[in-house]
Structure formats: C-alpha cells, structure tokens
Structure 1
C-alpha cells in the first residue's frame, strides 16, 4: 500500500516541557489508524503539527512523499488534508446545506465570486454529501437547532467537501451518545472503504477504537509506546500499565461474552 502520511522524529517542546517526543509512523492509503493515550499524552499536539497549527521543534512530516513540515494550515488543506475537531466548527446562523455549500465554494476557489448568489451554488453536490452522512432530511434546518450528533455528521460532510486524501479526526465522537458514536465511526469506516480515504483519529472510547481501527498507536507522555493491530495493542503489557496500572484492560470479544 502507498504511504499517504509519514512522520520522522516528530518532536514538540514548550520551554522545558516535551509534549511530543521523537514520534515516527506511517499511514497508508485506505487505512483507518487510531491514535490513543491518556489525557495529556500529546495527541492533540501531534495533530496540530500535522495540520500546521504548530511547527515542530524537530522532525518532519511528509504527505504523499512531499515534505510539508512547517507549512500553513491553508497550504496543507489545499494539498488534500481535511480535519474535524473535538468541538464542532459550523456556522450556527446558516442552514445545514449552506454550511456544505460554503465548503464547496472554498474548495473551488470561488469565495469572492460567490457572495451575491452563494445560496444557489453547488446545491446538488452539497445534497450528495449530506446524503452520504445521513443528513439530507435536515438540509434546510439551521445549525443552531441541531443535536450534537447531527453537528458531528455535518462537520464530516464539510470535511469531505474538499475531497481529502487524508482526514484527521480529533476525538470525533466526543460528547455523543453511545449509539451515535458507533454510527459515526461505522460511517467513517464505510467512507474509508468506499472512497479510499486515509483516516487518522484520536479517541477515548475503546469500544469504538477496537471495533473500527485497522491499526492502533499509543502515546504516553509524548512518546509512542506501541503500534500494532487490535489484538497486539489489547495484549500489550505497557498499554495495560498506562491505562489501568497493570490490570487487564481490554477484553476480547470472546472474553466479553463469557464475562
């Protein structure tokens, strides 16, 4: 499989505090890769370096083989990297479809041309994206009245409007009910399968991670301590120590049924 994203020795220090230390990994085309770890492990700092919000102290980031280290978020976005955030970022005063239309207008570099008649542009494509995330029936509702889970799905549609090669999802199910979490990550897994998008996501819900991730990386105190399959991570003593102080932390499906 081709490598979509690669980091080499990625490091970020804030004064004397090392938030991310010498992190190296690869993400392949069509892979759903989870980055997990306790609070303060460095996950968001890592994401912010990948997307250009923070410049690494040391190390490099490569996208499709090109060095994008230190480039601005806009430059990285233009290269085909989308992102969703822990806290949803939509225009509350606009309707659902208008939010997606604005993303499509930006993607097509039509922002200044579009001001007088933006509401008529890219409606069909916007409806297609809303249908993809199950939001077509709410197209004309204002975002201010949406349930939180629906805002998360809308944010995913907005990210997909840019036709990303790589999608970074920072705690995509935060604040959602258990059933909503499962539905959103199943939707993401379907998009990965059907569109070949590569996804790197952070998540605290281990049920979500184990059900959908193709591979899992574990950060602790800024260092990558494990990288492997679900079963490898489930049985890794260092991962168990990080999460539950040495107790058995993650049950397999068979063990869960027997419990």
Structure 2
C-alpha cells in the first residue's frame, strides 16, 4: 500500500528536554494504525506536531508526498487531515444536527453565512454523516443531554464532514464504558474499510488496540521502540519491559 503520511526524524525539545526524539514512521492509505505508550511517552506531543499545533524542533512531516511541516492547523486541515481530541468539543447549546451543519458550513466555506435560515443549510448531508455514526435518530436532541459515548460519535461525524484522507484520533475511547469503546472502534474500523480513510490513533485501552489496529507503534520517553503487527509488538521484549517489567504483554488469541 502507498503512504498517506510519512514522518522523518521528528523531534520536539523543551529547554534541552526531548519530549519526542528522532521519531520516524509511515501510515499507509487505508490503514488503521495505533500509537501507544505510557503516560508522558510523547504521544500527544507527536500528534500536535503532525496537526500543526506545535512546531517541530527538527524533522519533517509529509502528507501524500507534500511537505506540511510547520504549517498552521487550518492549512493542514484543508489538505485533508482531520482530528478528534481526548476531550470532546461540541456546541452544547446546539442540537446534534446543528453541530454537524456547522462543520459542513466550514467545509463548504460558508461559515459566515450565519442567518435566520442557516439551520436549513446542508441538513440532508448532515443526516448522512449522522447515519454513518448511528446518530441519525438523535439528530434534534441538544448536545447537553447526550451520553459521553454519543458525544464521541458526534465528534467523529464532525471530523468526517471535511472528508479527510487522514484522521488523527487522540484517545478516542477515553472516558467511555467498555462496551461503548468496542462499539466506537468497530465503527472506526468500518469507516476505514468502507471509505478508505487512514486513521492514526492513540489509546490506553490495550484490548481496543489489539482488537482493531492493523499495525501498532510504541513510544517510550519520546523514542519509538517498536513498530509492527500486533503479534510482533506483543512479543517485543522491550515493549513488555515498558508495560509490565518483563513477562508476556497480552494473552495470544487464536487469530494472532
């Protein structure tokens, strides 16, 4: 498979402390790839450099062969990179569908078209995205009454409105009940399969990671220590040492 994202020798230093140190990797088109590691490993710092929230100290980032290093978040977004965050950010005073309509207005460059009739804009298109995340039946509910798992689904619908080629998901299941985590990541896996969107996600729930990721990368103290299949990462002695101080990281399943 061809690459959608390539990262070369990425570094981020704060007064001599290397939060991310010489990290290189690639994400293929149509791939669901996980970036895991202990708290403080550098995962969010890495994500923030990919999306332009932080400027790298050194290194390069390429999207589909185009250099995007140091570009502003909106420029990167316009080039086809979407993102979801650990903490959801929706307009609580608006309904579910109005949140999606706002995202579509931005996508269609009509964000300044706020007017008494703005609520009619892109309603059918918004319903299509809500259907994708199984939220169509809650379209007219206010966001303020949604369960946290439904807010995560809504955030995914909003991210999809720009039809990203690459979606960065920072701990997409954080704060969710176990069953809701499984449902959300299965939904993401279905979107990757059906729409060809590439997804790079960070996650602390190892059951979610090993059940859905095509490949897994492991960061520790800012350095990439593993990049491979679930079986390769599970059996990597350095990864086992980081997570458990030795021993077997996860029980092998029948399909591994």
* TM, length-normalised to structure 2: 0.98
Correspondence 1:172 to 2:172: yes
Give the C-alpha shift of residue 31 in structure 1: 0.1
Mapped to 2, the partners of 1:113 and 1:140 lie a distance apart of 21
* 1:39-188 matches, cutoff 5 A: 39-188=39-188
Secondary structure in structure 2 of the residue aligned to 1:52? coil
Map of 1:221 onto structure 2: 221
Give the C-alpha shift of residue 13 in structure 1: 0.5
How many equivalent residue pairs? Answer: 256
Q: CA RMSD in A?
A: 1.2
Q: After superposition, what is the alpha-carbon deviation per residue over 1:112-170, rounded to whole angstroms, capped at 9, x for unaligned?
A: 12433220000001001001101011100111110000000000000000100000000
Map of 2:33 onto structure 1: 33
- Shifted more, 51-60 versus 10-19: the winner is 10-19
* Long gaps (5+) in structure 2: none
* 1:214-253 matches, cutoff 5 A: 214-253=214-253
Give the C-alpha shift of residue 16 in structure 1: 1.9
Give the C-alpha shift of residue 4 in structure 1: 0.4
* TM, length-normalised to structure 1: 0.97
**Which protein has the bigger helix share?**
1
Deviation >3 Å, runs of 4+: none
Are the aligned partners of 1:217 and 1:224 in contact in 2 as well (CA < 8 Å)?
yes
Mapped to 1, the partners of 2:167 and 2:67 lie a distance apart of 18
Map of 2:208 onto structure 1: 208
Mapped to 2, the partners of 1:3 and 1:21 lie a distance apart of 22
Mapped to 1, the partners of 2:28 and 2:106 lie a distance apart of 27
- Shifted more, 246-255 versus 169-178: the winner is 246-255
